[in-house]
Amino acid sequence: MTPPNTKNGFFQCFAGFNKNDILSRFLVMELLIAIKQAFVLLATGDADLYEVIFLSLKVNLTAVGLAAAIGLPLGALLATTKFRGHSALVALINTLMGLPPVVVGLFVYMMISRSGPLGVLELLYTPTAMIVAQMILVTPIITALSRQALARMHADYQPLFIMLGLPPRKRMMTLIKDGWVDLLTALLAGLGRAMAEVGAVMIVGGNINHFTRVMTTSITLETSRGNLATALSLGVVLLFMTLMINALVVTLGRRAQHD
Amino acid sequence: MIKVPHLMLEGLNLSLIRQDHPIINGVNLNVGNTGICGLVGANGSGKTTLISLMAGLITPDAGEVRMTGMGGMAPSPLRIGLMMQKPVIMRRSIYGNCDYVLAAQGVAAHERKARIEEGLALVNLYALRHQDARTLSSGEQQRMALARVLIADPGVLLCDEATSNLDPQSTRMIEAIVKSKAKDGLPVLWVTHNLAQLRRLASRVVFMDQGRVLAEQEISDFFEAPASKEARDYLYFESV
Ligand SMILES: Nc1ncnc2c1ncn2[C@@H]1O[C@H](COP(=O)(O)OP(=O)(O)OP(=O)(O)O)[C@@H](O)[C@H]1O
Ligand SMILES: [Mg+2]
């Protein structure tokens, strides 16, 4: 009915947007303001924002690093060897990939709260506690994804391994060397999950300002306070960072496929 | 390439059962240095499975594979050269694929380079040596696989349709290489569906049908008077 209107083209790309609807118009304006504010905050080097970003990165990169130290060798082991209970273990790890973060948070909380078995360590509401929770969450993801990739490769390589009489350790090293793109993709998938996660770090970290506040918990807080613009601008930054991680995953994945 | 002592490979009463069905059924096979041994049979007759058993890739349900060193060399499964119908292609360059095999055998780095370059020149892949092996055509992959097997100086050579994807020129090249190796005493088992090639290469033919060996004859006898009805059917086009 209405003739094409280039002026409204941008707004129309939001699904369900109706330019005559006050609420739709308000939401879009809000989003645009948030994006602008996000860049202003980033560009002006807002100390609080950068503190939150850096803690997010520190906690999640450390957690992913530790999870990788467990998950990659375990994945390689599961991909190259068969033993009693092998398929049960694989099934368990695949299931753990879908662990609800709040359950992990609760579990870690119970372990490290003052009355818990590890209470003496006084870890509750510290970045360390958050790292532990994130690590538990991410380890199954990295293990399962790397096992999957390496198992496929191992099936291809196995005749050569047998003919050369290679011991398991050398087989594993070869698979890791030749499959590094797949493994990096697994790590980035883990990092993406950790960055987006809020339930577990909230429970064990407590979202303490200047100490355990990370991006996701910060967004939760600002939203509940009604500071939608701040929450949104944090959201935009988080989105941007997750986007970068995912773009890296996709690029590497595509490369691995082509290779 | 250096000349190395060879192996004799014997399959004794080999059987392999899958899903209650014998894929290999009491097969005796001897691969020695009395010229190239051709292995033929219809699709699904069990040639690839038999080669896998001989190479030790799969364990038989009954029978055994015996290896005898010749010329005072201890027998070692590492010295079986296997050229598979679908070769393993590592995610590396052609050179990297070859280098991996030699490194795994503990060949020193400087010697590896010389051997690989010689081997790749032999199969006409020297110019492509830095290309990712997965991007090669299937014929090129087959040639790479053959070079990779040969540079490792095998004591016995098992080839499963090694020239099935090769053009006439490459086929001629490969045949010449394998022939000269066999002449030097390398025991060779050669699977093919190409009967003209069989005539050119083999001095002895083993014919398989449904997991059993139904004929084992000198090459001329095989074509003139096949020892079983199934072999006669297999050779139908040769007689018309
Ligand atoms: N793991 C397995 N489980 C069940 N059947 C199998 C298995 N491996 C092979 N077979 C069967 O064994 C038979 C022999 O297969 P094989 O690959 O050895 O035949 P081939 O003689 O090499 O045939 P081609 O000329 O087509 O290469 C086929 O019927 C195949 O379906
Ligand atoms: Mg076959």
Question: Where on the phi/psi map is residue A53: left (φ > 0), alpha (ψ -120 to 50), or beta?
Answer: alpha
**Model pLDDT for residues A112-125, shown as the tens digit of each residue:** 999 999 989 999 99
- Is any ligand 1 atom within 6 A of the Cβ of residue B239? no
Q: Which residue has the higher pLDDT, B230 or A250?
A: B230
Query: Would you say the CB of residue B48 lies under 6 angstroms from ligand 1?
Result: yes
Of B84, B88, B105, the CB nearest to A157: B88
B52 lines ligand 1 (CB under 6 A): no
A109 touches chain B (CB under 8 A): no
Interchain proximity A164–B80, CB inside 8 Å: no
Q: How far apart are CA A79 and CA B38, in angstroms?
A: 37
Q: CB A259 to CB B77 under 8 A?
A: no
Which pLDDT value is given to residue B159?
96
Query: Percent of chain A scored above 90 by pLDDT?
Result: 59
- Check pLDDT > 80 for residue A3: no
Q: How far apart are CA B53 and CA A236, in angstroms?
A: 60
pTM for this structure?
A: 0.82
Dist CA B157 CA B186 (whole Å): 7
Torsion, Cα of B18, B19, B21, B22 (10° steps): 10
Residue A166 to residue B101, Cβ atoms within 8 A: no
Domain boundaries, chain A: 20-258
Any chain A CB within 8 A of the CB of B153?
no
Q: What is the CATH number of domain A20-258?
A: 1.10.3720.10
Q: Report whether pLDDT(B227) > 50.
A: yes
Is residue A158 over pLDDT 60? yes
CB < 8 Å to A259, chain B: 91, 132, 134
Q: How far is CA A66 from the centre of its chain?
A: 14
The rounded distance, in Å, linking the Cα atoms of A32 and A12 is 14
Predicted confidence at residue A19, as pLDDT, reads 67
Beta-carbon separation of B57 and A178 below 8 A? no
Find the helix packing angle between B94-104 and B138-151, rounded to 10°.
Answer: 30
Write out pLDDT tens, residues B58-108. Answer: 999 999 999 887 665 666 777 899 999 899 999 999 999 999 999 999 999
pLDDT of residue A246: 81
Domain tally for chain B?
1
Nearest atom in ligand 1 to B193's CA: 25
Domain contains B3: no
Residue B176 lies in a domain: yes
Distance, in angstroms, between A61 CA and closest chain B CA? 29
Structure confidence at residue A48 (pLDDT):
86
- Closest Cα in chain B to A167: B104
B201 within some domain? yes
Which ligand 1 atom lies nearest to the CA of residue B49? 18
A164 touches chain B (CB under 8 A): yes
pLDDT the model gives residue A6? 46
Q: Do A259 and B134 touch (CB under 8 A)?
A: yes
The verdict on residue B1 lying in a domain is: no
Cβ of B49 less than 6 Å from ligand 1: yes
pLDDT recorded at residue A195? 92
Of A23-37, A42-56, B108-122, minimum mean pLDDT range: A23-37
* Ligand with an atom nearest the CA of residue B45: 1
pLDDT at A256: 64
Distance CA B146, CA B163 (A): 10
Q: Which ligand is nearest to the CA of B47?
A: 1
- Please indicate, yes or no, if residue B158 is contained in any of the structural domains: yes
CATH number at residue B36: 3.40.50.300
The protein residue whose alpha carbon is closest to atom 24 in ligand 1 is B43
Q: What is the pLDDT of residues B148-185, one digit of tens each?
A: 999 998 999 999 999 998 999 989 999 999 999 999 88
pLDDT at residue A15 is higher than 80: no
Task: Give yes or no for residue B46 CB within 6 A of ligand 1.
Answer: yes
Rounded to whole angstroms, the Cα distance separating A150 from B39 reads 35
Cα–Cα distances in angstroms (integers) from residue A161 to residues A72, B145, B166, B211, in the given order: 20, 14, 26, 27
Q: Note down the domain range covering B58.
A: 8-239
* Mean pLDDT calculated for residue range A172-201: 91
Query: Of A157, A162, A178, which has the smallest distance from its Cβ to B56's Cβ?
Result: A162
Q: Do A174 and B77 touch (CB under 8 A)?
A: no
CA-based R_g, chain B, Å: 18
* Residue B30 clears pLDDT 70, i.e. is over it: yes
CA distance A188 to chain B (A): 22
Q: Render B124-138 in DSSP notation, one character per residue.
A: T-GGGTTSBGGGS-H
